[in-house]
Chain A
Amino acid sequence: MSELPYDRVKLARQSGRPTGLDYIRNIFKGFIELHGDRRYGDDPAIVGGLARLKGSPVTVIAIEKGHTARERSYRNFGAPHPEGYRKALRLMKQAEKFGRPVVCFIDTSGAYCGVGAEERGQGQAIAENLMEMSSLCVPVIAILIGEGGSGGALALAVADRVWMLQNAVYSVISPEGCASILWKDAAQAEAAAASLKLTAEDAKSLGVIERILSEKDIGKKEFYDRIQKLLVEEIDVLSKDLDLVGRRYERFRRIGADVLSKESI
């Protein structure tokens, strides 16, 4: 495990790490990919569909960065457009209809910044996901496997349980973006990374995630088996919760509330 937060950022971005599709293929069986948002198009940066987790059908959604240069370009480096978020929401609503749990794998530097993304309502697409996921009546588990870039990551992470890989990062802004805005110097990214508290340990101590997943044997069968076992156990627990939506509301409701001073209300 690396000590400097900025080293974690670099690790999280490393192209050798397993990508969303690797997790889907190794943890689940019989993945059937479902395409398109039914409104505009299909976004290759987000893959989703049906699969079996130890025999039971689940809806799986993953932000995919790709491995080779060609794949990475096809996947837009894991930076989704609004149609990606809308596809994800369509699949989550479908999961709700058929009573399937949802598992999301998140790995993005952020929602794509581009003219088309703005024209098609990037902000609106993310907002709608946040709103709708907050009341989804089936268990939702989100796992940050690499980069958790701001609203673009959160749009798949309004979940009952949020887990992070040991070297994944989760942040409101990239350290480079933060440094260039605050200190007008992107080279200060290292200092920004430390200040932003973006490591898995930070996220856990801030109450933003429940669990840190060890990266021992990352990419090997043992690694995926461990995650599979945790998912099966946790989905079992969540499926029995009669107040799932209420508890999800409270999960987010309390974040930040304890740091406030109330001089008068």
Chain B
Amino acid sequence: MAWIHFLKPKNQLEEGGRTAAPVQQDAGEPEKNCPNCHKDIPLSRLWANNLVCPCGYHFRMKARQRIKMIVDKDSFCERYAGLTAGNPLQFPGYREKVDTVRTASGEEEAVVCGTARIGGQSCCLFVMEPYFMMGSMGSAVGEKITALFEYAAEHRMPVVGFTVSGGARMQEGLLSLMQMAKTSAAVKRHSDAGLFYLAILTDPTTGGVTASFAMEADIILAEPGAMVGFAGARVIEQTTKKTLPRGFQKAEFVLEHGFVDGIVGRANQKRALTELLKMHHGG
């Protein structure tokens, strides 16, 4: 099977390696320091390579940029765009925080949903937004994801989802916690209808999102190096007073322990998604 090898974990250095010419230092061009290889990479070059460093490190990516990268041109049709939660618990500082991140991220909430085509295949798509309270799930995120699965079940469509999340959103308290049950029930209905759900876990996918729809897909892929887990590493270290194993909760570690199907870098994601969608569509 030709497609299966690009699902295998790759040597990180291979990722984008074909374009890895020595970095030219243009005076004045903005650069970003890579936390993996510690080199300064010109931003223009990162942008041209879907925010993947020549060393293979995957930088965080905004939801809209990811959609642009993955869907067929002009095929994305957004749904539930204006759906937002207020401050149901009157949690101190929440309103102000949301206003700030709205301005900074340009998004109304921490997930973007809609329908799209990927390699000609129609699907429902959700992409979480790392720059909106680190993709945390409150009522609006839960509602949008639930509604998307219900729409997909009704129209007999597969769902593709990119997760990134710090977990359930504290500021909406129990209402956030209940979104885990609500989204899971919608995934279950969609699944029981015989429909396909593919999740791609990106850095970081944790807490209440890992413990709900991120781990409920038929096929679960992860981006290289993505942190995937339930509890945060710092909390575990504090609880157990033990040093954590090397690579703990990295995608490669999670693959080794049997909780994701494969690791796919951005360069290969569209190809992988297209093929997997085709295989579940009968054509």
B185 engages A249 (CB within 8 Å): yes
Query: For residues 140 through 159 of chain A, which have their beta carbon under 8 Å from a beta carbon of chain B?
Result: 150-151, 154-155, 157-158
Query: For residues 211 through 243 of chain B, which have their beta carbon under 8 Å from a beta carbon of chain A?
Result: 211-216, 229-231, 235-236, 239-240, 242
Which of B178, B186, B236, B240 gathers most chain A CB within 10 Å?
B178
Among A120, A182, A202, contact of B170 (Cβ-Cβ < 8 Å): A182
Flag whether B115 is at the interface (Cβ < 8 A).
no
B143 engages A123 (CB within 8 Å): no
Flag whether A253 is at the interface (Cβ < 8 A).
yes
Among B170, B180, B236, contact of A178 (Cβ-Cβ < 8 Å): B170
* Bitwise interface map of A from 242 to 265 toward B, beta carbon under 8 Å scored 1, else 0: 000000110011011101111111
Among B85, B173, B184, B258, contact of A127 (Cβ-Cβ < 8 Å): B184
Q: Assuming the A-B contacts A118-B236, A123-B210, are A150 and B177 also in contact, with contact meaning beta carbons closer than 8 angstroms in the complex?
A: yes
A260 engages B139 (CB within 8 Å): yes
Q: Residue on A with the closest CB to B92?
A: A195
Q: Report the interface size class on chain A.
A: 35 or more
B89 engages A131 (CB within 8 Å): no
Q: How far is the CA of A173 from the CA of B168 in the complex (A)?
A: 9
Q: Assuming the A-B contacts A115-B245, A118-B236, A249-B189, are A197 and B231 also in contact, with contact meaning beta carbons closer than 8 angstroms in the complex?
A: no
B82 engages A261 (CB within 8 Å): yes
Q: How far is the CA of A123 from the CA of B207 in the complex (A)?
A: 7
Flag whether B172 is at the interface (Cβ < 8 A).
yes
Query: For residues 203 through 260 of chain A, which have their beta carbon under 8 Å from a beta carbon of chain B?
Result: 203, 206, 208, 248-249, 252-253, 255-257, 259-260
Query: B residues within 8 A CB of A73?
Result: none
Among B174, B189, B211, B242, contact of A123 (Cβ-Cβ < 8 Å): B211
Write the nearest CB–CB distance from B96 to chain A, whole angstroms: 13
Q: How far is the CA of A226 from the CA of B248 in the complex (A)?
A: 48
Q: Residue on A with the closest CB to B89?
A: A197
Flag whether B179 is at the interface (Cβ < 8 A).
yes
Write the nearest CB–CB distance from A223 to chain B, whole angstroms: 26
Q: How far is the CA of A134 from the CA of B140 in the complex (A)?
A: 20
* Bitwise interface map of A from 185 to 207 toward B, beta carbon under 8 Å scored 1, else 0: 00000010001111000110010
Query: B residues within 8 A CB of A191?
Result: 92
A206 engages B230 (CB within 8 Å): no
B216 engages A131 (CB within 8 Å): yes
A158 engages B80 (CB within 8 Å): no
* Bitwise interface map of A from 112 to 126 toward B, beta carbon under 8 Å scored 1, else 0: 111101111111101
Q: Residue on B with the closest CB to A206?
A: B174
B184 engages A115 (CB within 8 Å): no
Flag whether A181 is at the interface (Cβ < 8 A).
yes
How many residues of B are counted as interface, with CB atoms below 8 angstroms from the partner's CB atoms? Answer: 66
Query: B residues within 8 A CB of A248?
Result: 185
* Bitwise interface map of B from 167 to 203 toward A, beta carbon under 8 Å scored 1, else 0: 0111011111111111011111101100000000000
Write the nearest CB–CB distance from A179 to chain B, whole angstroms: 10
A195 engages B91 (CB within 8 Å): yes
Q: How far is the CA of A191 from the CA of B249 in the complex (A)?
A: 32
Query: B residues within 8 A CB of A131?
Result: 184-185, 187-188, 191, 216
Flag whether A33 is at the interface (Cβ < 8 A).
no
Q: Residue on A with the closest CB to B182?
A: A252
A127 engages B239 (CB within 8 Å): no
Query: For residues 1 through 22 of chain A, which have their beta carbon under 8 Å from a beta carbon of chain B?
Result: none
Flag whether B83 is at the interface (Cβ < 8 A).
yes
Q: Residue on B with the closest CB to A113?
A: B231
Among B178, B212, B229, contact of A256 (Cβ-Cβ < 8 Å): B178
A151 engages B180 (CB within 8 Å): yes
Flag whether B86 is at the interface (Cβ < 8 A).
yes
Flag whether B3 is at the interface (Cβ < 8 A).
no
Q: Assuming the A-B contacts A127-B211, A151-B208, are A260 and B143 also in contact, with contact meaning beta carbons closer than 8 angstroms in the complex?
A: yes
Which of B86, B91, B174 gathers most chain A CB within 10 Å?
B174
Q: How far is the CA of A142 from the CA of B169 in the complex (A)?
A: 23
Q: Assuming the A-B contacts A150-B177, A171-B173, A172-B173, are A124 and B184 also in contact, with contact meaning beta carbons closer than 8 angstroms in the complex?
A: no
Q: Residue on A with the closest CB to B150?
A: A253
Q: Residue on B with the closest CB to A122?
A: B230
Flag whether A105 is at the interface (Cβ < 8 A).
no
A172 engages B188 (CB within 8 Å): no
CB within 8 Å of A: which residues of B?
A: 79-86, 88-89, 91-93, 138-140, 142-143, 146, 168-170, 172-182, 184-189, 191-192, 206-208, 210-216, 229-231, 235-236, 239-240, 242, 244-245, 248-249, 257-259
Given contacts A114-B231, A196-B173, A197-B174, 16 further A-B contacts (CB under 8 A): A113-B235, A130-B181, A132-B188, A154-B177, A155-B211, A170-B174, A170-B177, A171-B174, A182-B93, A195-B92, A249-B185, A252-B185, A256-B179, A260-B140, A262-B82, A263-B82
